Amino acid sequence: MSLSGNLRTMDLPELLQWVTLGRKTGSLAFIRNKTKNSIYFRGGQIISSRSNEPTKQLGHFLLFQGKITEIQLKRALECQQQTRQILGKILVQEGFVSQAEVEKALVDRTREVIYDLFLWEDGFFHFTADGFNLDELILINIDINAILFEGVRRKDEWVRIREVFPSNEVILALRANADPKTQQLTPLQKKLLFLVTRGKTISEMILEAHGSDFPVNYELFQLYDTGLIYVKKVLAAAPVPVVDPSQVFNRGLDLMRGRKYREAISVFQEVLRHDPQNAQADQKIEEAERAICDEIYQASLQPSRIPCFAVPESSITRYNLTHEEGFVASRINGSWDVKSIVMLSPLREIEILQVLEKLLKMGLITLK
């Protein structure tokens, strides 16, 4: 049996109870914009989850937890490409983390994928009976009631957070009389406090920390609640145009046939914003993104080429780069090749390549 719908009409707790009470086995997929999360069930019990978000991959998750460094992750990923071993095993063999730390991170990451879904107010879902391979999943044993309790708690907490930080496009600042040395701060809070003093938006902090929405916003909210920081500026969000999805999908197909992949992605994303259940648009976006990546690799950014700054690094801030572009630029150190930057950035492959391509066309970087 299959079930499809939108979270606006059937929320996550209802869905989880429907699967649990029916003792169903299968996968429950959720799609919103570029993100796809899946929860896997056996006999009504949650056994695993998966996400296409880079921050939910093991390496980035360990980076966010402060268990490894970017240099260590780079070494492990390069070893993985040569040996085809799983990343967790390599990290243990290299002595970067213990086996216990890897196992705990895998379970915590799997839970985080599910917890994030409680914060979705909109999105398409689809349940499919069976349809997964146990050998490809990280299996966990988790109480559904514990998931529901923590998920609902986070949703309530998220409402409180959004009353103070209405979006991730918020700039925070340290209060004039604040003294962080008098507070017992976690390593993550110390890092976030440093980024606050650099004038970063919350979106930029999430990238810098290799984190995701709730954990970063939650820690910032704790700093706000203790009086260390305040909201300095809320940046205006761009208005979303109203369109009829049925009138633009065929235009996207025409663009695909004309190999105008970038324009096609914009059209199909517009379709999905207004019709999240349009699986064809989602599939076409994946096809177009793969085609763009292949074109960029072949034309200008071969994986083994090393980006270097063609202008003084200190002058980069004058070019009004977005926070994603600024983050990718910060990964350029004259020794990491394109492949390494792609592996180590908590952004999707196409986003990283497009930023590097833009920096190259602007004359800000060269390749060696």
> How confident is the model over 322-341, as pLDDT tens digits?
888 989 999 999 999 999 99
pLDDT higher for 142 or 112?
Answer: 112
Tell me, what's the pLDDT at 106? Answer: 84
User: Average pLDDT in the 306-332 region?
Assistant: 89
User: Average pLDDT in the 306-321 region?
Assistant: 89
User: Average pLDDT in the 93-108 region?
Assistant: 90
Mean pLDDT lowest among 10-24, 26-40, 195-209, 241-255: 241-255
Question: Which residue type does 158 have?
Answer: W
Binning pLDDT at 50, 70 and 90, where does residue 245 land? low
Tokens 């979106």 identify what position?
A: 203
To the nearest 10 degrees (0 to 180), the angle between helices 213-225 and 187-197 is: 80
Nearest to 306 by CA among 365, 240, 263: 365
pLDDT higher for 27 or 132?
Answer: 27
Report the distance separating Cα 132 and Cα 117, nearest Å: 20
User: Average pLDDT in the 32-56 region?
Assistant: 86
Tell me, what's the pLDDT at 246? Answer: 67
Q: Which residues pair with 134 in a beta bridge?
A: none
Write the pLDDT tens digit of every residue in 126-172: 888 876 777 777 777 778 888 899 999 999 999 999 999 999 999 99
Backbone phi and psi for residue 170, each to the nearest 5 degrees, phi listed first: -125, 135
Average confidence score pLDDT of the chain: 88
Q: Is the pLDDT of residue 41 over 70?
A: yes
Nearest to 74 by CA among 91, 57, 89, 61: 91
What burial letters (b/e) apply to 252-275, b meaning 16+ CB within 10 Å?
beebbeeeebeebbebbebbbbeb
Q: Is the pLDDT of residue 79 over 70?
A: yes
Would the pTM count as exceeding 0.85?
A: no
CB atoms within 10 A of CB 136: 9
User: Average pLDDT in the 66-71 region?
Assistant: 91
Q: Is the pLDDT of residue 276 over 70?
A: no
Q: Is the pLDDT of residue 120 over 60?
A: yes
User: Average pLDDT in the 338-361 region?
Assistant: 92
Binning pLDDT at 50, 70 and 90, where does residue 239 land? low
With a pLDDT cut of 90, the percent of the chain lying above it is 46
CA distances from 6 to 32, 100, 128, 289 (A): 10, 38, 15, 25
